[in-house]
C-alpha cells in the first residue's frame, strides 16, 4: 500500500511514546494496521515508538465518544494501555474530534472514562489526564494464567525463570500483568533476561507484561517493566495499576489511598478502592511529522 504525504503526531506519557494516526481520515485497511505499526515504530529506520494508536469513530450504537485501537511495535494489537489512552485523550481533545473534558473511549477492554485537566497558563492544552481504569480482573481464566492447584486467583504464587524463583501475582487491567515484588530493583540486563523469559512462560497462554516492584512505603513504590511485544519501556500505566492492586491485596499499600508509582520516565498516581482503579499522570505532545511517500 502506498500513501502520499502521510502525516502523524508523536506523544508520550512519561517516556512511553506513541505515534497517533487519525484513522477517521486515513482509513487504513484492517489487514494493514499491524504492518503499518511495525513499519512506523521501528527505531533507526523509521519514526520509532513503543506503539501506534489509531483514532477511530465509535459505532453510533455504542455509548462512547470515540474509539482507540493500539498496536505494539511487533504489530500485535493490545487490549489497553494506560499511558497510551492519556496520549489519545489529549490528541482527540486538542484536535476538536471530541470537545468534552470528560469523555468515554471505546477500547478492546471496554468503555473507559477519561477526565482532562487543562493547563491554567496555556488555555486548551491538556497537561494531565485521569483515567477510570475500572475493575481489575483477578480470575485466572480471564487474565489468562494457568494457576497452581486449580485456584481461581494467582496471588503470590511461585514461578521459575532461568533457575530463579519469583513470587508473582497475576492481574489484568484489560491486558495481562505478572507483578513481582523485589527487595532490590533490577538493572537493564536482568530486566531483559528475566522479563523476556516470563513474558513467554507456559503459564501465560497469551504472553504477559512483567512488572518488578520495590515498595518504598505504604504510599510509594518504584516500578520497572518489560512489556509484552515491546520490551523494556520507560513506564506502563496499566502495569502501575496492576502493581498497586496486587500490593493492596498483599497488604503492602493502603486501600483508597493515592500511591505514587515511580516509573523510569516519571511518576503516576494510582488509587485502588478495592473495586475500581484510578490512574492520573501527565502527557505531552512530542512533535508533528510527515512522510512524503509511505509504503507498507
The residues that are catalytic are 81, 236
Task: Identify the sign of the CA torsion 215, 216, 221, 224.
Answer: negative
Residue 31 vs residues 20, 27, 34, 49: alpha-carbon distances, Å: 18, 12, 7, 21
Nearest one of 105, 62, 64 to 86, comparing CA atoms: 105
| C-beta neighbour count of 167 within 10 angstroms | 14
Residue 19 vs residues 55, 91, 115, 140, 265: alpha-carbon distances, Å: 11, 11, 21, 32, 17
Q: Give the residue carrying C-alpha cell 507456559.
A: 202
Nearest one of 251, 246, 269, 267 to 259, comparing CA atoms: 269
Spatial distance between the Cα atoms of 245 and 274, rounded to a whole number of angstroms: 8
Q: What's the half-sphere exposure (Cβ side, CA atoms, 13 Å) at 248?
A: 21
**What does the chain come to in residues?**
296
Nearest one of 168, 106, 109, 101 to 137, comparing CA atoms: 109
Amino acid at each position: 500500500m502506498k500513501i502520499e504525504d502521510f502525516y502523524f503526531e508523536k506523544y508520550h506519557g512519561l517516556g512511553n511514546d506513541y505515534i497517533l494516526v487519525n484513522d477517521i481520515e486515513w482509513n487504513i485497511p484492517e489487514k494493514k494496521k499491524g504492518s503499518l505499526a511495525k513499519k512506523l515504530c521501528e527505531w533507526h529506520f523509521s519514526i520509532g515508538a513503543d506503539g501506534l494508536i489509531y483514532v477511530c469513530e465509535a459505532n453510533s450504537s455504542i455509548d462512547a465518544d470515540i474509539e482507540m485501537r493500539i498496536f505494539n511495535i511487533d504489530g500485535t494489537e493490545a487490549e489497553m494501555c494506560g499511558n497510551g489512552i492519556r496520549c489519545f485523550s489529549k490528541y482527540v481533545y486538542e484536535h476538536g474530534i471530541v470537545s468534552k473534558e470528560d469523555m468515554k473511549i471505546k477500547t478492546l477492554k471496554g468503555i473507559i472514562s477519561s477526565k482532562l485537566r487543562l493547563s491554567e497558563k496555556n488555555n486548551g492544552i491538556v497537561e494531565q489526564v485521569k483515567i477510570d481504569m475500572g475493575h481489575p480482573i483477578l480470575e485466572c481464566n480471564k487474565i489468562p494464567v494457568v494457576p497452581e492447584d486449580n485456584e481461581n486467583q494467582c496471588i503470590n504464587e511461585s514461578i521459575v525463570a532461568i533457575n530463579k524463583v519469583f513470587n508473582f501475582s497475576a492481574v489484568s487491567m484489560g491486558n495481562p500483568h505478572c507483578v513481582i515484588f523485589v527487595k532490590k530493583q533490577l538493572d537493564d540486563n536482568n530486566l531483559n533476561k528475566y522479563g523476556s523469559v516470563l513474558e513467554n512462560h507456559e503459564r501465560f497462554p497469551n504472553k504477559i507484561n512483567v512488572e518488578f516492584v520495590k515498595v518504598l512505603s505504604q504510599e510509594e513504590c518504584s516500578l520497572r517493566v518489560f512489556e509484552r511485544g515491546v520490551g523494556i519501556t520507560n513506564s506502563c500505566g496499566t502495569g502501575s495499576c496492576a502493581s498497586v492492586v496486587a500490593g493492596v491485596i498483599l497488604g503492602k499499600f493502603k486501600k483508597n489511598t493515592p500511591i505514587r508509582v515511580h516509573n523510569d520516565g516519571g511518576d503516576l498516581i494510582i488509587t485502588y478502592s478495592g473495586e475500581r482503579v484510578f490512574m492520573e499522570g501527565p502527557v505531552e505532545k512530542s512533535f508533528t511529522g510527515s512522510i512524503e511517500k509511505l509504503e507498507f
